[in-house]
Amino acid sequence: MRRLPSLNGLRAFEAAARHGSFTAAATELHVSQAAVSRMVKLLEERLGFALFDRRANALLLTERGRALQPALTEAFDGIARRVEQVSAMRAGPVLTVGMGATVAVRWLIPRLSSFHLNHPEIEVRIATGGAGAPMKDDWTCAVLLGDGQWPGYEAERLFSSSLQPVCAPRLAAELGKPADLAGATLLHVSHWGQDWPRWLAAAGAADQKAEPGTDLGLRGLSFSSYAMTLQAAIDGVGVALAPRLYSGDDIAAGRLATPFALAVPMVHSWYLVYRAVCREDAGFAPFRDWLYALCAEIA
């Protein structure tokens, strides 16, 4: 059982010690200066020692007062923070969706407002990981790019996409045929090294960018994500090969152009991945239904 002195007395002392004034403490606590003085005096009597050295024009902490005040300030600050956090907690369900950063930024987030509009009671939290990131314990579900094999999890195929060259419009105007890529900088994603070789083979230009002694067999620049590759393309650095899912909004907005009509299907697809038990989460079924409706719009 805790044996604590008056909490009102502790609050009055802490405020007065922090401000160095009974008057300022009274203003903060919305009581009179006399009330603060009285509460502190009662606290001192309860403790059996003085906390302040009261002088005519100053209020000074005693040695014991200086020792006590920092701990009280930390404790009251911690209580205030926790109360704010609890007050901010939502009563409705929380849905944590894991996915790669590129698919989150370039596809899902721009469309997420429609889900929130229809389900304002569900708090959606987007957590990012690599495209093939394993499921994390705090994720309700995930939208992941892969082959559909996540042992121990349910995996429902959502959609696939196709790979098509994209670049800044001014650069696209200079590219009349695939052979013109011989003079262009190819932008590629380091962990999807077969993207360009597959497209070049389909275009009948498989050998024109070969460079012996390199892992990818391509001249150009390598990036760790499609997001960075597309940004480089927008900035006119070179020609990127990216899923239409990622480049479609930029093409529609005129930031990117497609110099060639040829597109090749991606090897992998996106899946909704989740633990079977998560079917019972209140936010999962509405999100799943919304996600399938959204995927139906993808050509």
Same domain, 142 and 168: no
203, part of any domain: yes
Phi, psi of 104 (to 5 degrees): -70, -50
- Considering only CA atoms, which of 221, 219, 212, 265 is closest in space to residue 243? 265
Same domain, 60 and 114: no
| Domain count for the chain | 3
In this prediction, residue 82 carries a pLDDT of: 82
Pairing of strands 52-55, 58-61: antiparallel
Which residues, 6+ apart, have CB-to-CB distance to 101 below 8 Å? 128, 225, 227
In this prediction, residue 93 carries a pLDDT of: 84
d(CA 166, CA 238): 9
- In the listed set 88, 105, 140, which residue is the last one of a domain according to the structure? 88
73, part of any domain: yes
Same domain, 51 and 126: no
75, part of any domain: yes
Q: Quote the pTM value.
A: 0.62
Same domain, 136 and 179: no
1, part of any domain: no
2, part of any domain: no
Same domain, 233 and 181: yes
Q: Is 233 helix (H, G, I), strand (E, B) or coil?
A: helix
Same domain, 273 and 261: no
Read off the CATH number of the domain in which 59 is found.
Answer: 1.10.10.10
- Domain residues for the domain of 258 are 162-265
Read off the CATH number of the domain in which 287 is found.
Answer: 3.40.190.10
> pLDDT tens digits for the chain (299 residues)?
677 888 999 999 999 999 999 999 999 999 999 999 999 999 999 999 999 998 878 889 999 999 999 999 999 988 888 887 676 665 678 899 999 888 898 889 999 999 999 999 899 999 987 555 567 878 899 999 888 888 889 999 998 889 999 999 999 999 989 988 888 999 988 888 888 998 999 988 764 444 433 333 456 898 988 899 999 999 999 999 999 989 988 999 999 999 999 999 998 899 999 988 888 888 999 999 999 998 887 75
